Amino acid sequence: MSTSDNKRAVVVGIFVFLAIVIFVAGVFVLGGQQKRFEKTFRVSAVFDNVGGLKVGSNVWFSGVKIGTVRQIRFSGTSQVAITMNLEEDVRKYIHKDALARLSSESLIGNKIVEIYGGSPQAPTVESGDRLGTAVALSTDDIMATLQENNKNLVSITSDFKTLTSRLVQGEGMAGALLSDSTLTQNFRAMLANLQQVSANTVRVSRDLAQLSNKFDTEGGLANELLTDTTVFIGLKNSVQQLQQTSASAAQLTDNLRETTSKLNEKNNAVGLLLNDQQFAGQLKSTMGNLETSTEKLDENMEALQHNFLFRRYFRKKDRREKEAAEAVGNQQQPEDSTTIAPHQVNR
């Protein structure tokens, strides 16, 4: 064998060896990805629609890859059953009440199966168990929702365009505020008035706070009225007395009103004197006649005193009056003497 042949054989051998190494490495890599060389257990789940899931798709639990989809087959009339190979090490974390749902690695990535949920009180899953499923939002549903949102956005944009055009044209209250300077000034004046009212409200609140503080000051009338029961009782009694006085005054007013009404009537003597002018004239004439009769009576009595037939009678009467006056004077004199006696003794 020539040297060139030997060289060619060595090169071929090297390429064959590298090919074998690459093949073995690929087998180990693919086997590692497919969990072919690890101890696994199988669980299944039934979906109404797998949405493009394939054999070999990954199975995730809490964001960690734990197995692959081993088999996809139809079940029943229109359902699809999938069988999954899961790592034995994660059995203790997955419970029988856990759920499986379809998801994606990204928005447009490959389909995967995601296992989630499960309560610690439930027993762990065993090989051959069927997990419950949950309906996940598919890409078609997301696109339909986005399309509906786009329609709503177009409608909102159209309405906003109409609104802005009306604002520019000065229609409506907001448009008038933007275009009418007079209305804008009035609105500013109203805001200024509102600010003034707010300032007044703050000042009144401050004054009320000061007033309430004065109520809490000991020794003040308001504090005494609010805290001292004695003062309150006294004030209550005073109010009751004022009420009684008011009632008495009201009764007196009623009596005066009744008396006044009677004075205005002619069925009594005083009312007749006040209201009947004819009777007043007659009464005045009568009083004048009485005064004239009295004067004439005095003159007649004076004439009788000078008449010789009655002169003796009037003299005896004068004598008796003088004796009576002297007797009264004699009774008062001893009292005066007893009063003076002590002064004489002192002298």
pLDDT in tens, 234-282: 777 777 888 888 888 888 888 777 777 766 666 666 665 666 677 667 7
**Hey, how many other C-beta atoms are within 10 angstroms of the C-beta on 18?**
10
Structural domain boundaries in the chain:
1-33, 39-136
What's the pLDDT at 34? Answer: 54
Instruction: Spell out the long-range contacts of 120-125 with Cβ–Cβ below 8 A and sequence spacing 24 or more.
Output: 120/95, 122/95, 122/96, 122/97, 123/95, 123/96, 124/91, 124/92, 124/93, 124/94, 124/95, 124/96, 125/43, 125/91, 125/94, 125/95, 125/96, 125/98
* Mean pLDDT calculated for residue range 8-28: 82
What is the dotted CATH code of the domain comprising 39-136?
2.40.30
Query: Both tokens of residue 233?
Result: 């009782």
What's the pLDDT at 341? Answer: 43
Q: Is the pLDDT reported for residue 228 higher than 60?
A: yes
Give 44's pLDDT tier (boundaries 50, 70, 90): very high
Q: What are phi and psi of 119, to 5 degrees?
A: -100, 145
Specify the pTM. 0.38
What's the pLDDT at 346? Answer: 40
Q: What is the mean pLDDT of the chain?
A: 77
Q: Which is more confident, 326 or 178?
A: 326
